[in-house]
Chain A
Amino acid sequence: MKTIVVLGVIALIAVFIVAQYNRLIRLNIGVNEAWAQIEVQLKRRSDLIPNLVETVKGYAKHEQSTFDAVVTARAKATSATTVADVAAADGMLTQALRGLLAVAEAYPDLKASTNFLALQEELSTTENKVAFSRQFYNDNVRSLNTAVKTVPTNLFASFAKVTEREFYEVEDPQDRNAPKVTF
């Protein structure tokens, strides 16, 4: 009888430990997946840019500085690797794209072209997807960081080799709020 009780308690403790360990690992994988999603969406946006710049150029030849800003920001964004760098480059590119679309406002022919309208929808949805993937990533980081810092999961964090992760902070405070993209 006694041995059964002892074995039962040991089994319960084992189940508890495994559950905490698995929770941490799951949260960590969640953050990795969310990060991958950000990269996918940033890549999508990056791929859109040449086409967009070409289209705008066709109507607005004298806005070279705006085009340059977009192209530089895009180049920076593609070379960034750490969370902070990617976030900074992302913020810069968002700004540059806003500038480009503001320029487009001044050219009625451009705004009416079907190519531009299609690109505009594509760009609004991509901006929203980028913003939502940031938000999803930050939510996942928040859950992970809370787990790493609070009892009982914090006791297993170093064993599971899970540490706190960095939030994705975009410079422009306007971007941190969820997407309200009206170009």
Chain B
Amino acid sequence: MNFRTQQAANKRKTIGLLMGMGALVWLVVFAALTYFGNSTAGIVPIAVGIALISVWGSYYGADKLVITMTGAKLIDESDNQKLFNLIHEVTIASGLPMPKVAIVVDSAPNAFATGRNPEHALIAFTTGILEAMDRDQLQGVIAHELAHVANRDTLVSAVAATTAGAIAILSDMLTRMMWFGGGRDRDRESNGNPIALVFSLLILILAPLAAMLLRSAISRKRESLADATAVAFTRNPAGLRSALEVLAADSTVVHQKSTSVAHIWIESPLDGKSVSKLFSTHPPIAERIAVLKAMELQS
């Protein structure tokens, strides 16, 4: 597979997963209406509203918010001429505007990108990654980060977070209603079929879990897509591949103040063993290396 087919496949899969997320929302709404009757219909816009407000704020101010959450410091060209040279090279290859650049003082090698659109993009590097990598490897990492910017992954993950959040809030409110206040209005038009009721209940309980799984799957597909897009920019899969090998060989992880920004790094800062593959925000690094190796053989 070359980078073009990789890009197309990952885009297709993201759309499929987002549609799955949409279907899940409808399933939850349907289950709620079946179980509690039509009187609960008013809860749906409330749940979606809360999720929208909480995610939209972080989406709109993504660049500024992430700076405070990761302790990144903005730098300019005079601070690190070589890094800016490399970033400028990749912006020429990709046709993107020059992003803001930040440094995180941390010996663990890692990097991330954020920002609501290419004009507000921010890419950040740990001091560790700048020391550990040579020109080609850093170019691969920068291309991966700018690929996230080009693919609008902040938007995609905001959409995923909103729907997953809405489902979680909805399910939470409805399960509370079940414990308090007796829940469904038995006398009115609600569906009396016991099998339908059991199914609805199961859907309401399992939906948040399913939403989380879908959200992680979307994040993994976007990582694979960013790898493929990075190769489209540099046409040098070997650079990113050897950069990922450096990351894989390094056992230190970024000292994070918060796990809520874990998904934005190039290598997940969460301990891989404690999270199952299904909940992981990144594909296994060995798998990513294998895909890039296959691209190297192609060219």
Binding site for B on A (CB under 8 A): 34, 37, 41, 121-122, 124-125, 128-129, 132-133, 135-136, 177-180
Contact B89 A129 (CB under 8 A): yes
Binding site for A on B (CB under 8 A): 81-82, 85-86, 88-90, 92-95, 135-136, 139, 234-236, 299
Contact A132 B92 (CB under 8 A): yes
Contact B89 A128 (CB under 8 A): yes
Contacts of B236 in A (CB 8 A): 178-180
> What 3 A-B pairs are tightest by C-beta distance, nearest first?
A178-B235, A125-B85, A132-B93
Q: Which residue of A lies closest to B81 (CB)?
A: A121
Q: Given A177-B235, A178-B235, A180-B236, A121 and B82 touching (CB < 8 A)? A: yes
Cα–Cα, bound, A37→B96 (Å)? 12
Contacts of B235 in A (CB 8 A): 135, 177-178
Contacts of A136 in B (CB 8 A): 92-95
Q: Which residue of A lies closest to B86 (CB)?
A: A125
Q: Which residue of A lies closest to B134 (CB)?
A: A182
Candidates A124, A125, A135, A179; contact of B88 at CB < 8 Å = A125
Cα–Cα, bound, A88→B299 (Å)? 24
CB of A140, distance to nearest CB on chain B (Å): 8
CB of B8, distance to nearest CB on chain A (Å): 15
Contact A132 B136 (CB under 8 A): no
Contacts of A180 in B (CB 8 A): 136, 236
Cα–Cα, bound, A180→B94 (Å)? 17
Interface centre among A124, A125, A177 (most CB of B within 10 A): A125
Contacts of B86 in A (CB 8 A): 125
Contacts of B88 in A (CB 8 A): 125, 129
Contact A132 B85 (CB under 8 A): no
Contacts of A37 in B (CB 8 A): 92
Cα–Cα, bound, A122→B85 (Å)? 8
Q: Which residue of A lies closest to B238 (CB)?
A: A180
Contacts of B92 in A (CB 8 A): 37, 41, 129, 132-133, 136
Cα–Cα, bound, A178→B234 (Å)? 6
Q: Which residue of B lies closest to A130 (CB)?
A: B92
Q: Which residue of A lies closest to B84 (CB)?
A: A125
Cα–Cα, bound, A179→B234 (Å)? 8
| 13 intermolecular pairs with C-beta atoms under 8 Å apart | A121-B81, A124-B135, A125-B82, A125-B89, A129-B92, A132-B234, A133-B92, A135-B235, A136-B94, A177-B235, A177-B299, A178-B235, A179-B89
